[in-house]
Amino acid sequence: MCRAVGSGTTAESASDTGDDGVKPPPFAYHAPRTEEEALATLGALGEDGKVLAGGQSLIPLLNMRLAAPPALVDLARLETLDRIAVTDTHVRVEARVTHERLRRDERVAAAVPLLRQALDWVAHPVIRNRGTSVGSIAHADPAAELPAVLALLGGWMQLRSVEGERTVEAGDYLLGPLESDTRPGELVVAATFPRPGVRTGTAFEELARRHGDYAMAGVGVRVTLDADHHVGDASAAFIGVGGTAIQVELTEVLRGQPYDALDKAEAIGLARASIDPTADIHATAGYRRHLAGVLLGRALETAVRHAAGQAPPDSGSAPEGPGPTESAAPGSAAPGSAATESAPTGHASGGYREETA
């Protein structure tokens, strides 16, 4: 149920839905049917417009009256911006793709394993079924997993407005806690995650108070081995221990180490010195700093084994098992194959089917 104050051609009245029980402050509600209409609406609204996608962060903020945007622009009725494209070089995820769809996509898991490794930690199925991956990055919660993935893989965001399109690299896009470089009038249309190169392994580790909660600390790791299975370069991105995802380059402290006898002490020390955790009611700053180091050590071990091809990319202590395989597009994930795209083809009975476009 929304409580809307009518404005514009697409705005609707709240009284139509006849339900009650939630109580955001008044807002105008727009449900554009095309991307062009969405951009025009956002352009007209300027500072007053706020994009609503999965609503898993925004709706609670509204109901607790912690946010009071004058107007919401809901993407629910768009028929576009719902594609996952897997190419030779990257995975591109459009604005309306949910966490769960991305998590279950076998082509994505094969092309950029870190996505599923991270998404396994994201909340619970009910939230993943509605929340969008792009929306999560745009929301820029410092404890969210996907901003760290984008940063670690050197990905970028695509933003459109009536004035045109721009592309912003992860490092420039994620500005601080709940602060991203999305300008008034802009719609974030996609996030692009480059494929890791050969002999590259990734892993994601975190610890939350309860299964699926925002982590007290978490880390994504990317390690590339050389032909002799020694570390070539390594990087980590931490969540929950600073104002935004904090990337720490580990190449200098790990280069040349054999994958099966890593000395992680220096990397852990460097990481602990590079992050900036704060205390809250769930954990002390000292514990978060300690935890980040422990998790880094574990993630590095998983990542180098992954890189060395000794373990499947889904291994690790992630709470969710690998997704089902029914949506795999045969052959589509193999490097060197043609780019494939998918879009949801129906939402009957709450599920979805995937087809290769």
Partner 1 sequence: MTTRMVGAPVARSEDPRLLRGEGRFLDDLGHDAYQVAILRSPHAHARILDIDVTDALEVDGLIAIHTFEDLPPRLQQPMPLLIPHPALTAGRTQYVLADGEVNHVGEAILMVVATDRYAAEDAVERITVDYEVLPAVVGPENALAAAQFVHEEIPDNVAAHLQQTIGDAPRAIAAAPHTLEFRLDIERSASTPMETRGTYARWDADDRRLRLYTSTQAPTSVRAAVASFLELPLAQVECIAPDIGGGFGVKIMHPWPEEILVPWVARELGHDIKFVEDRREHFISSNHERAQVQWITVGFDDAGRVLGLDVRFIHDHGAYIPYGLIVPIITSTQLIGPYKLENYRVTFDSVYTNTVPVTPYRGAGRPQGCFAMERTIDRIARHLGLDRTQVRGVNFLQPEELPYDFGLTFQDGRPYCYDSGDFPASLAMLKTLIDWDGFEQRRAAAAAQGRIIGIGMAAYVEGTGVGPYEGGHVLVEPGGKVQVATGLSTQGQGHQTAFAQIVADQLGVAFEDVEVVTGDTRRFQYAVGTFASRAAVMSGNAIHLAAVKVREKALKLASDALEVDVEDLELAEGRVRVVGSPDTSIDLKVLATLSNPLRYAFDDSARIATQFATPADPDAPPVGDDEAPGLEATDYYSPVRSTFANGMHAVEVEIDPETSDIRILDYAVVHDCGNLLNPTIVKGQVLGGVAQGVGGALYERMAYDDHGQLQNASFMDFLIPYATEVPAVRIDHLETPSPLNPLGIKGAGEAGVIPTSAAIAAAIEDATGIVIDAMPISPSQLHERRLARPVTAGEGTP
Nearest approach, Cβ of 283 to partner 1 (angstroms)?
4
85 vs 215, which CB is nearer to partner 1? 215
User: Are the C-beta atoms of 34 and 47 separated by less than 8 Å?
Assistant: no
Enumerate binding residues for partner 1 (CB under 8 A): 3, 20-21, 23, 25-26, 60, 64-65, 124, 207, 209-213, 216, 281-284, 286-288, 290-291, 294-295, 319
177 vs 184, which CB is nearer to partner 1? 177
Q: DSSP strand E in the chain: where?
A: 28-30, 49-52, 71-74, 84-86, 90-94, 156-161, 164-169, 174-176, 179-180, 187-194, 200-208, 215-225, 231-239, 246-249, 340-344, 354-356
What is the three-class DSSP state of 58? helix
5 vs 334, which CB is nearer to partner 1? 5
Nearest approach, Cβ of 223 to partner 1 (angstroms)?
20
Sheet holding 187-194, edge to edge: 164-169, 156-161, 187-194, 90-94, 84-86, 340-344, 354-356
Question: Strands 187-194, 156-161: parallel, antiparallel or unpaired by DSSP?
Answer: antiparallel
Nearest approach, Cβ of 294 to partner 1 (angstroms)?
4
Q: What is the dihedral of CA 331, 332, 334, 339, to 10 degrees?
A: 150
Supply 193's token pair: 């995650």
105 vs 205, which CB is nearer to partner 1? 205
Nearest approach, Cβ of 271 to partner 1 (angstroms)?
14
Nearest approach, Cβ of 22 to partner 1 (angstroms)?
9
Supply 227's token pair: 């032909």
Q: Please tell me the distance from the alpha carbon of residue 295 to that of residue 117, in angstroms, as a whole number.
A: 14
Nearest approach, Cβ of 267 to partner 1 (angstroms)?
15
Q: Which residues pair with 161 in a beta bridge?
A: 164
Nearest approach, Cβ of 210 to partner 1 (angstroms)?
5
84 vs 299, which CB is nearer to partner 1? 299
190 vs 217, which CB is nearer to partner 1? 217
3 vs 229, which CB is nearer to partner 1? 3
